[in-house]
Amino acid sequence: MKLALHYREIEGKSTGFWVLLGGLGLLIGLAMGSVLHMEHAGHHVTGMNNQIVWGLPHVFAIFLIVAASGALNVASIGTVFGKSLYKPLARLSGLLAIALLLGGLIVLVLDLGHPDRLIIAMTYYNFKSIFAWNIILYNGFLALTIVYIWFMMERKMNRYYRTAGFFAFIWRLVLTTGTGSIFGFLVARETYDAALLAPMFVIMSFSFGLAAFILVLMAAYNWTQRPLGDLILFRLKNLLGVFVASVLYFVVVYHLTNLYATEHHDVERFILLEGGIFTGLFWIVQIGLGSLLPLAMLYHPTIGKSRPAIATAAALVIIGGFAQLYVLLIGGQAYPLEMFPGYEVSSSFFDGVIGSYSPSIWEIALGVGGVAISLLIVIIAIRVLRFLPETLEDEVVDPHAAKAS
Amino acid sequence: MSNDVSNQMNTSRRNFLTKAGTTAGAAVVAPGVFLTTPAAAKPADEPVDIERRWGILIDTAKCDDCSDCVTACKIENGWGSANPVEEESSPEQQAQWIRKVGLKNKSTGHVLSLPLMCQHCETAPCVDVCPTGASFKRADGIVLVDKHICIGCRYCMMACPYKARSFIHETITDQKPWAPRGKGTVESCTMCVHRVDEGKIPACVEACKADNHNAMFFGDLNDENSVISQELEKHGGEQVRADLELNTGVRYRGI
């Protein structure tokens, strides 16, 4: 007998559920307290300054925004590319995309010098600014994904969901291109000024988003004691391996092209050899722990089939992603602007000096709060609406493949 | 009969067209005539002169270790050590509108010093990237921040090749009326727009002149008879990061 696919809300009555909710609420409370302090006292309480103008909140915000568009991939593979295996996951994929984006945007907005002027950001547009375009892209992404999920859930609208899914997919590609271009368009700074950053951000989103999706999926099914078959999980972890390798490829190409141009040798020496914390984060966390180790774990014939190992690999990809953005964002600003080639430069404004940055507790709390908001949205949504299939056993996901194996 | 009527109509139409054309022509030309009339001071209710492009030329050969220009800017615009503000901020966080930069040629050992501030680019990256349009360029080339719509995102600071902009990290009091510095917004050199509009020269240039250094020239880059244009024509002047082709309003000699 063929098992039918049923979606059901999670029960959400256990102590663990309330502890989780309370814990996330506490983190969000701490974040809001930090924001009040930062906005009341001014940004002097943060580690950010006039040399490192974007700090840890931006690392968190950009990670979440990039991961958001990537989280939608699982749904896109099912809807746009017709892989029926992924279809049961589409609702959760859309939900996670929305949740991550909201978390990221909240962090981004609350770090502004004037978060109270959000209405200005929504009403005054400079259309030459990629940042202004991003505001439109984010809102459009939220709207499209909500419609997409609605069409999937509402039987009457079901026949239109493919169209909605197609547009959401195209939109997400444009969105991540836009996010990458925030840096790619900065001609002034040597580490950013590269068209390669746009496609690199797209592939980063594939990797970070899928890693986040795998973790949320495993946690949700494990904690609610719903069955999650190997078929779908192994498919996802293999795909994650492909994405991690692709990001690695882009990172290699990015640095090789920089190394080819003599004018970039100094900045490359800084990031790859002499940058202290940035060099350490790059080689140890981004490349070692965040790329090579998870790749080895995911494709190992025995370890690759262990669930704790898969979850660890996904977590490592996320940690590596944070390191990657930290090196790119903060490292890129720490390296001094090259204004007078061939000269040693000195001034009272730290010209020619490597910028120093150590994140304050307030920035850390704000960033972590953003992650907590994303997770809270997911938990509340799956508690009140039918996002999760009751079971993702192999027989439900793909009866033919399950029978064959 | 019918011919007469049509002739009358043609005549009246011609008269009408002639009068209308003259009026329209006058309306188009008159403001132009007004605007090209040299005026020492610009009344506050009049638009900025689009024929002008204000600029500063800095002769590094005449610029030594003195920092009179920086001090003058601090006093004029109310920032830095000349004022009891930004005590909470670290030195890395404190604003600097203009700074002296020391340069030493790595191969020859030649040493020089120059003031660096907003370069008032014609195609300013800060103006391009600003999401709300708070970073803007006046018709006469002066790049400013509209404090009312700056949301404090700092994207302009990321985009500026000269590190000319500062973010205000704390509450500021006792501002000068013409320099409304405020927590959570970005600011930079205004080329003393409030003085320029009154027909005066920027405070830094005035201070440099007063001490007889004469390393700074201020004037209209579009007016070929201005001192700055003639100096540039005679001896030339370079842009910092000329490779970016931003057509800066501030030029340097001897870099």
- pLDDT tens figures, A37-89: 999 999 999 999 999 999 999 999 999 999 999 999 999 999 999 888 999 99
Predicted local distance difference test score (pLDDT) of residue B14: 59
A355 versus B32: the higher-pLDDT residue is: A355
B98 lies within 8 A of chain A by CB: no
Calculate the average pLDDT of chain A: 94
For residue A278, what are its two tokens? 């940035």
Q: What is the CATH number of domain A15-337+353-404?
A: 1.20.1630.10
Predicted local distance difference test score (pLDDT) of residue B32: 40
Specify if B153 maps to a domain. yes
Please indicate, yes or no, whether residues B161 and B248 belong to a single structural domain of this protein.
yes
Nearest to B244 by CA among B165, B164, B159, B167: B159
Q: What is the mean pLDDT of residues B179-191?
A: 96
- pLDDT tens figures, A244-257: 999 999 999 999 99
- pLDDT tens figures, A395-404: 888 877 666 5
Please give the Cα distance from A214 to A237 (Å, whole number).
8
- pLDDT tens figures, A174-222: 999 999 999 888 888 888 888 899 999 999 999 999 999 999 999 999 9
Residue with tokens 């500062």: B166
Phi, psi of A307 (to 5 degrees): -65, -45
- φ/ψ bin of A341: left (φ > 0), alpha (ψ from -120 to 50), beta (otherwise): beta
At residue B17 the predicted structure's pLDDT band, cuts being 50, 70 and 90, is low
Please give the Cα distance from B46 to B90 (Å, whole number).
41
Please provide the distance, in angstroms rounded to a whole number, between the alpha carbons at the two ends of chain B. Answer: 83
Please indicate, yes or no, whether residues B23 and B145 belong to a single structural domain of this protein.
no
| Residue type at A141 in one-letter notation | F
B168 lies within 8 A of chain A by CB: yes
Please indicate, yes or no, whether residues B23 and B109 belong to a single structural domain of this protein.
no
Please give the Cα distance from A124 to B240 (Å, whole number).
32
| Residue type at B202 in one-letter notation | P
CB contact under 8 A, B153 and A187: no
Instruction: Mutation target for B interface from A107, A343, A344, A357: give the one with most B CBs within 10 A.
Output: A343
Long-range contacts of the stretch A120-129 (C-beta < 8 A, 24+): A120/B132, A120/B149, A120/B151, A121/B131, A121/B132, A121/B151, A124/B132, A124/B133, A124/B134, A124/B149, A125/B131, A125/B132, A125/B133, A126/B130, A126/B131, A126/B132, A126/B133, A128/B127, A128/B128, A129/B128, A129/B129, A129/B130, A129/B131, A129/B155
Q: Which residues, at least 6 apart from A34, have a Cβ–Cβ distance to it below 8 Å?
A: A361, A362, A363, A365, A366, A369
Q: Where are the domains of chain A?
A: 15-337+353-404
- φ/ψ bin of B78: left (φ > 0), alpha (ψ from -120 to 50), beta (otherwise): left
Specify if B60 maps to a domain. yes
Neighbours of A276 (CB within 10 A): 12
B131 lies within 8 A of chain A by CB: yes
Predicted local distance difference test score (pLDDT) of residue B84: 63
What ipTM, to 2 d.p.?
0.92
CB contact under 8 A, B132 and A339: no
Cα→Cα distances A199→A176, A180, A308, B148, Å = 8, 7, 31, 36
Please give the Cα distance from A399 to A397 (Å, whole number).
6
CB contact under 8 A, A339 and B158: no
- What DSSP state is assigned to residue A7? B
Please indicate, yes or no, whether residues B128 and B234 belong to a single structural domain of this protein.
yes
**Structural domain for B16, as ranges:** 1-37
Please indicate, yes or no, whether residues B22 and B67 belong to a single structural domain of this protein.
no
Specify if B183 maps to a domain. yes
Cα→Cα distances A355→A39, A57, A90, A239, Å = 24, 17, 44, 38
- Give the 3-state DSSP-derived string for A193-253, with helices as H, strands as E and coil as C: CCCCHHHHHHHHHHHHHHHHHHHHHHHHHHHCCCCECHHHHHHHHHHHHHHHHHHHHHHHH
A contacts of B92 (beta carbons < 8 Å): 49-51, 350, 355-356
- pLDDT tens figures, B33-79: 443 333 467 777 888 888 899 999 999 999 998 999 999 999 999 99
Q: Is the pLDDT of residue A145 over 70?
A: yes
Domains contained in chain B, number: 2
Q: Is B174 helix (H, G, I), strand (E, B) or coil?
A: coil
Q: Is the pLDDT of residue B30 over 50?
A: no
Q: Model's pTM, two decimal places?
A: 0.90
B187 versus A402: the higher-pLDDT residue is: B187
Please indicate, yes or no, whether residues B105 and B29 belong to a single structural domain of this protein.
no
Percent residues over pLDDT 90 in chain B? 74
At residue B13 the predicted structure's pLDDT band, cuts being 50, 70 and 90, is low
B contacts of A115 (beta carbons < 8 Å): 151
Please indicate, yes or no, whether residues B122 and B23 belong to a single structural domain of this protein.
no
Please give the Cα distance from B229 to B219 (Å, whole number).
8
Predicted local distance difference test score (pLDDT) of residue B1: 41
For residue A169, what are its two tokens? 């997919």
Please give the Cα distance from A235 to A310 (Å, whole number).
11
CATH code where residue B103 lies: 3.30.70.20
Residue B167 pairs with which residues in a beta bridge?
B186
Please indicate, yes or no, whether residues B17 and B91 belong to a single structural domain of this protein.
no
User: Closest to B152 (Cβ–Cβ): which among A112, A189, A356?
Assistant: A112
Please indicate, yes or no, whether residues B168 and B233 belong to a single structural domain of this protein.
yes
- pLDDT tens figures, A301-333: 999 999 999 999 999 999 999 999 999 999 999
Tell me which H or E stretch contains B233.
Answer: helix B227-235
Q: Are A89 and A82 in contact (CB under 8 A)?
A: no
Q: Is the pLDDT of residue B16 over 70?
A: no
B93 lies within 8 A of chain A by CB: yes
Cβ pairs A/B, distance under 8 A: 172
| Residue type at A59 in one-letter notation | V
Please indicate, yes or no, whether residues B132 and B12 belong to a single structural domain of this protein.
no
Instruction: Work out the minimum CA distance from A317 to partner chain B, whole angstroms.
Output: 28
At residue A5 the predicted structure's pLDDT band, cuts being 50, 70 and 90, is confident
Total residues found in chain A within this entry: 405
CB contact under 8 A, B105 and A343: yes
Please give the Cα distance from A111 to B177 (Å, whole number).
28
Specify if B44 maps to a domain. no
Please indicate, yes or no, whether residues B243 and B128 belong to a single structural domain of this protein.
yes
- Could you tell me which chain B residue has the CA closest to the CA of A110? B153
Instruction: Work out the minimum CA distance from A382 to partner chain B, whole angstroms.
Output: 34
- Could you tell me which chain A residue has the CA closest to the CA of B90? A44
